[in-house]
Amino acid sequence: MGSITVLWLILLILMLVVGGQEGVSAFLSLLVNFGILFFAIVLISFQLNPLVVGIVASVVLLAITIFWSSASDEASMVAFGASLVVLLILLILIVVITKWAALGGFGLEDSDELEGLSILLGISFQQVAMVTALLSSLGAISEAAIAIASGLTEITAQHPQITASQLRKDGSQIGQQIIGTALNTLFFGFFGSSLGLFIWLNSLNYSWGVIINDKVFVTELVAILIALLGVILIIPMTTIIISRRWQNKINKQKDHH
């Protein structure tokens, strides 16, 4: 039995012990998402348009992550709708920034690993960089959207007399509590995954100007900044949708009476 298999089993056991049925459901969702990502990689390797494959995969991954969670149907619908809007905004930013910054492809630091290998695969590595940035933001977006939507939905269930303006204030307060943790999670993930790169750049005595213009570093940095923007945008977007739905419900009740 390999180490990867052992880690998967430990993860499954812990999720079962801690989360019970919901933990098993989350584990199955993780496996399905992994399968979708692998299938997307295969489709791109068959020279399908990377950006189109990435967009479709992102929507499917968001749907599975959100609707397979333990959130209510109403909260899931709101979270999914808000996530799609933010995903569209991020997609526009990613396309513009990636083309403007000339991201994608390989840097000089990759020359040793690529020595003797052909990179003439017929695939746009710039579009691959776009897809990478898009996929990197999905987890943070869906998590924050579900947290906000579930919290506000629970508030409306416990306090049916609450106004839409007060609901927006509560959403802002919940968002302030979430955003710090989400940003730290993304930052530490970026730092941990890029630690080897940081040590490498430091050991080679790169200047600050060279580092911020290095293709490998900038590609990683842009991906994490896009994810941070996604977290910041999803909080007011989800709050606005929830408050408007609640205001419409209040208006219908007034008209009915």
Taking only the tens place, the pLDDT of each residue in 52-75 is 888 999 999 888 888 887 667 788
Among residues 132, 161, 136, 138, the alpha carbon closest in space to that of 61 is found at 138
CB-based contact 80:67 (threshold 8 Å): yes
115, pLDDT greater than 60: no
Write down the pTM of the prediction.
0.80
Positive or negative: CA dihedral 107, 39, 7, 228: positive
Tokens of 196: 């080897």
**Confidence class for position 85, pLDDT limits 50, 70, 90:** very high
Q: How many whole angstroms separate alpha carbon 2 and alpha carbon 251?
A: 60
